[in-house]
Amino acid sequence: MPSSQGRVLVIAGSDSGGGAGIQADIKSVMALGGFATTALTALTAQNTRGVTAVLPVPPDFLTAQIDAVMSDIGADAIKTGMLPDTASILAVADFVSRLSPRLPFVMDPVMVATSGDRLQSEDALAALKSRLLPLATVITPNIPEAELLLGRQIRDEAAQREAAQALLATGAQAVLVKGGHLTGETLTDLLATRDGIVAITGERIASLNTHGTGCTLASAIATGLAQGMGLEDAIRRACAYVAAAIRAAPGLGGGHGPLGHNVTVDPSRIAALRVQ
């Protein structure tokens, strides 16, 4: 059974600017009452304007971090973010496969930063799709990431719906295709499961302070699952948390600024998320 607090093991890269990656993951998990542990996959030199360098962590040291956490503290859910190369993907897939499906696994296929920078090598994509994606409780691609996974363009909600169905067919238990890169006053995220597709819609917030939204959302979902919430409830709370964090952004940097992670979720905002 999950602990009452919810222990989330985050396996992801570091963001030196503090807005995304492991830094955003820790802030999100703790803000929602969980406890975050980490295994670093890569170091990045980045800020709100972009990524200037990436240094992958050797897979044996990545595994050592995971083993250290699991042999002592344990976890109620796993969340992955940036996995920069095939070696790290295979190491994580081996670990997750030993625990699946006992532990919820949220996979954020981090391949493109908010700035547009590619964060994952081309040769890692096939390993991600074949070895890790089928193990996921839910994957959370944005539109550019879904396009890379499927090799097709997504320009409207109809194509977003088709993409969600296509990604579900690759083996994950559920797929959340985020609609932030589409246009319109309403933002629509599509949750696809074996039972069908649910559209979760909310107000689109006009803001440049969106660095780390994907990391934040996936970690918030993992926290909910670690605390024993159902998937849709965990997603609805996570969406409300991200919206609140965007509104509370501190306005730092000259590019896509970080979120204000130290916010509480207003229950009325969770209820206000319309489900179609």
Number of domains comprising the chain = 1
Domain assignment present for residue 91? The answer is yes
- Strand-pairing partners, residue 46, are 51
Buried b (16+ CB within 10 A) or exposed e, 45-70: ebbbeebeebebbebeebbebbeebb
Catalytic site includes residue 213: yes
Domain assignment present for residue 14? The answer is yes
What is the DSSP secondary-structure string of 40-82? EEEEEEEETTEEEEEEEPPHHHHHHHHHHHHTTT--SEEEE--
Domain assignment present for residue 2? The answer is no
Average pLDDT, the chain: 92
pTM, full prediction: 0.94
Catalytic residue among 37, 41, 213, 223: 213
Looking at the predicted structure, is the pLDDT value of residue 4 above 70? no
Catalytic site includes residue 74: no
Mean pLDDT (whole number) for 148-177: 95
Virtual torsion, Cα 260, 176, 8, 220, nearest 10 deg: 20
Mean pLDDT (whole number) for 23-36: 97
Predicted confidence at residue 233, as pLDDT, reads 96
Domain assignment present for residue 175? The answer is yes
Catalytic residue among 6, 13, 202, 212: 212
Domain assignment present for residue 74? The answer is yes
Domain assignment present for residue 33? The answer is yes
Predicted confidence at residue 3, as pLDDT, reads 53
Mean pLDDT (whole number) for 191-206: 94
Domain span holding position 229: 7-275
Mean pLDDT (whole number) for 19-40: 97
Mean pLDDT (whole number) for 256-271: 86
Q: Which of 6-15, 27-36, 122-131, 215-224 has the lowest mean pLDDT?
A: 122-131
Looking at the predicted structure, is the pLDDT value of residue 2 above 60? no
Looking at the predicted structure, is the pLDDT value of residue 187 above 60? yes
Catalytic site includes residue 178: yes
Domain assignment present for residue 1? The answer is no
Catalytic residue among 214, 224, 257, 260: 214
pLDDT digits (tens, 9 = 90+) for 70-127: 999 999 999 999 998 999 999 999 999 998 778 999 999 988 655 566 656 678 888 9
Q: For residue 90, what is the domain's CATH number?
A: 3.40.1190.20
Pick the residue with more confidence: 72 or 5?
72
Length of the chain: 276
Domain assignment present for residue 27? The answer is yes
**Crossing angle of helices 231-247/21-31, nearest 10°?**
110
